[in-house]
Structure 1
Amino acid sequence: MTEILSPDAVVFDMDGLMIDTERLYVDSEREMLEKRGRELDFDNVNQIMGLPGRLAMERMRSLYDLEDTPEDLLQELRSLVQHRAETDLRTLPGLEEILARLEECEIPKAVATSTNRPMTEVFLAKIGLRDRFAFVLTGDDVTHGKPDPEIYLKAAATFGFAPERIAVLEDSINGSTAAARAGCKTVAIPNEFSRDADYEWVDLVAEDLRDERLWRLLGIHRSRDCVC
């Protein structure tokens, strides 16, 4: 049986965990590579997923032997993703339900994402989520991005709780590694591109945000008749 944590706070990753943006990134990366005569390799996708923008493009440049600078690649990627997001941005199944229940149980929530602040604010505002979190940390707010634990240590410090009292929900190898290194209770909820990865260091691998084991670990219940 999954251990009941009843955390003091829950921190959500954004891309691929709350919002279906990893698909937009993968489609944009595929377009960029095809323009350069390269083919997207899904074994490389997980190496890039969850990394801060510039580091992700450095990795992409190395993996595919590209001549472009990381800065130029990042600018192109962000432009393509933002264009796709204008007409194809949606939340992932179970998000509204789990957010509402955490709010009913008065468990504070935050966001910790590798995405830069301007894009993060646009995405969260576009789907009406920004005001539902105590604070939002982005790749612009840390010196060392995921898989370094800095962003989750900063989240715990901002809440004023010990890292082990924080539950982190992540979808990527790099993100879940960062959370585990910070000492947080770590739940991996792989997206369609990261399902085959090995998450042996996490506390739970959940199917999605509706997984009963996830709710049990967080100490919350679907029934409003149950005490949080």
Structure 2
Amino acid sequence: MTTFLFDMDGTLFDTEKYYNRAWKQAISDSGYELPEEEVLKLRSLGRPFALEQFQRWFGPEVDYLAIREHRKELMKDFLSGQIPLKPAVPETLRFLKAQGYRLAVVTATGPEQAEHNLCTAGIRQYFDAVICATMVERGKPAPDVYAYACHTLGVTPEECYAVEDSPNGVRSAHDAGCRVIMIPDLTQPDKATGKLLHRKLDTFGALRNMPVE
């Protein structure tokens, strides 16, 4: 194994709870209601899948883009310019770099925002590449973004660990051929997701003690 590919929100950043809150409020402010377990399905869900999901929930007339833009504004308010890291992220990234691994981010967030957030959090320097779903035709849970990350880095998926927190991200990485390590954030993996995992860890820092091939 030569490479670690990291999801960003919910894996590197402790931000998924804010995204969940922002989606729920944006949906409510638009005149709709959605149970908590349904809102969770939006984690790492890329376009065109998110649009299709909204249409299944609320019908073809739903203005997904307007709700999404409102969610983005709410996120700015919730975070107030701060990007909270998961515990032990910087020291774990330093450790993996010192061991000779290549590191990259693979995220549903757009390039400009991803670069800004990584720099704000003080961890951009650890990554060889930042790969975003907007760079491919289909975001997560399709495998495109992980396949593109491997191509960009010049490695095969079989050489890569993918570190994810959500079912959509796990599916994307698994179907691309990566070995998936899940560090659950808001929910534990269900039975179907569990079958796709190479390993499940409780904390980000546990990557330093994980046996690697």
Aligned to 2:171: 177
| Counterpart Cα distance in 1 of 2:62 and 2:32 | 13
Aligned to 1:25: 19
Q: Using a 3 Å threshold, how does the CA distance of structure 1 residues 203 and 18 change in structure 2: closer, same or farther? A: same
Q: Look up the SS of the partner of 1:17 in the other structure.
A: coil
Give the one of 101, 104, 107 matched to 2:101: 107
TM-score, scaled relative to structure 2: 0.89
Contact 2:3/2:161, CA 8 A, preserved across alignment: yes
Give the one of 107, 116, 134 matched to 2:110: 116
Give the RMSD, CA atoms, in angstroms. 2.1
1:82 and 2:82 aligned: no
Aligned to 2:190: 197
1:47 and 2:34 aligned: no
| Counterpart Cα distance in 2 of 1:70 and 1:36 | 10
Residues 1-228 of structure 1: pairs in structure 2 closer than 5 A: 7-52=1-46, 55-64=49-58, 67-192=61-186, 194-195=187-188, 197-198=190-191, 199=193, 200-211=195-206, 215-218=209-212
| Counterpart Cα distance in 2 of 1:138 and 1:167 | 17
Q: Using a 3 Å threshold, how does the CA distance of structure 1 residues 217 and 148 change in structure 2: closer, same or farther? A: farther
TM-score, scaled relative to structure 1: 0.84
Q: Look up the SS of the partner of 2:205 in the other structure.
A: coil
Richer in helix (by share): 2
- How far residue 120 of structure 1 moved from its aligned partner, in angstroms, is 1.0
| Counterpart Cα distance in 2 of 1:30 and 1:182 | 30
| Counterpart Cα distance in 1 of 2:118 and 2:84 | 10
- How far residue 149 of structure 1 moved from its aligned partner, in angstroms, is 0.7
Q: Which AA in structure 2 matches 1:204?
A: R
1:69-121, Cα deviation, whole Å (9 max, x unpaired): 12111211111112222255200012122101111112110000011112212
Q: Using a 3 Å threshold, how does the CA distance of structure 1 residues 118 and 153 change in structure 2: closer, same or farther? A: same
- How far residue 196 of structure 1 moved from its aligned partner, in angstroms, is 5.1
Structure 1: gaps of 5 or more residues = 1-6, 220-228
Q: Which AA in structure 1 matches 2:190?
A: A
| Counterpart Cα distance in 1 of 2:113 and 2:56 | 25
Using the TM superposition, name which of 47-56 and 14-23 deviates more: 47-56
Q: Which AA in structure 2 matches 1:19?
A: F
Q: Look up the SS of the partner of 1:210 in the other structure.
A: helix
Contact 2:141/2:171, CA 8 A, preserved across alignment: yes
Contact 1:167/1:186, CA 8 A, preserved across alignment: yes
- How far residue 128 of structure 1 moved from its aligned partner, in angstroms, is 1.2
- How far residue 145 of structure 1 moved from its aligned partner, in angstroms, is 0.7
- How far residue 156 of structure 1 moved from its aligned partner, in angstroms, is 1.2
| Counterpart Cα distance in 2 of 1:116 and 1:125 | 14
- How far residue 153 of structure 1 moved from its aligned partner, in angstroms, is 1.0
Q: Using a 3 Å threshold, how does the CA distance of structure 1 residues 151 and 124 change in structure 2: closer, same or farther? A: same
| Counterpart Cα distance in 1 of 2:181 and 2:189 | 16
Q: Which AA in structure 2 matches 1:151?
A: V
Identity %: 26
